[in-house]
Structure 1
């Protein structure tokens, strides 16, 4: 997982932003909850859905490298896809965060989204193969 490359403080910000993003459409899905629980468990972060009103400007100050910012966007797009689609509210929030991170290059966002989508496709293909499909 690319989040391994982040500091613990950066992972906390990714988690807080992911909670905030999952709540963007006012419906945190079971898949999004599962992702958030796995992320918090993997990195020793307290699991809580109470971070929906964080100050994004303050939070992103911890993401002080381009690598950390790209990994953060990748994780946010990943949680957005967990409920089966990258909805409009989620897209708007991801683009807002990307702008605040100084990564408002549409080509870069598309590359990150493609990267995430291909990862989901790869997992799906593997599950189909292993289940005899």
Structure 2
């Protein structure tokens, strides 16, 4: 997992932003909750979904390298795909966060989104192959 390359503080930021993003469409799916639970367990982060008071700018300031910002966007897009689609509200929020991070390069965002989608396709393809009789 690429989040292994982040500091503990940066992983907390990823979790906080992800919980905030999951609520963007006012419908946190079971898959999104499971993703957040898995992330919190993997990194010893308190599982708290109420991030309505999150200071986004303060959180983003902790992502002090391009690598940390790209990994964060990758995790946020991965979360967004968990409910089966990267919805308009989620896209808008991810793109706004990318802009605030100084990553308003459309080509880079499209590459990150394609990277995540290919990962999901890879997992799906493997599951299908393993389930064939």
Runs of 4+ in 1 over 2 A off after TM superposition: none
CA distance in 1, matches of 2:52, 2:82: 18
Number of matched pairs: 133
Aligned to 2:95: 95
Aligned to 1:131: 131
Give the drift of 1:105. Answer: 0.3
Aligned to 1:55: 55
- For structure 2, the residue ranges without an aligned partner over 5 or more in a row are none
CA distance in 2, matches of 1:99, 1:83: 24
| Residues 11-36 of structure 1 deviation map (CA, whole Å, 9 limit, x = unaligned) | 00000000000000000000000000
Contact 1:29 / 1:83 at 8 angstroms: preserved in 2? yes
- For structure 1, the residue ranges without an aligned partner over 5 or more in a row are none
What pairs up with 1:52-131 in 2 under 5 angstroms? 52-131=52-131
Q: Which deviates more, 2-11 or 52-61?
A: 52-61
Give RMSD over aligned pairs.
0.8
Q: TM-score, normalised by structure 2?
A: 0.98
Give the drift of 1:9. Answer: 0.1
CA distance in 2, matches of 1:129, 1:56: 42
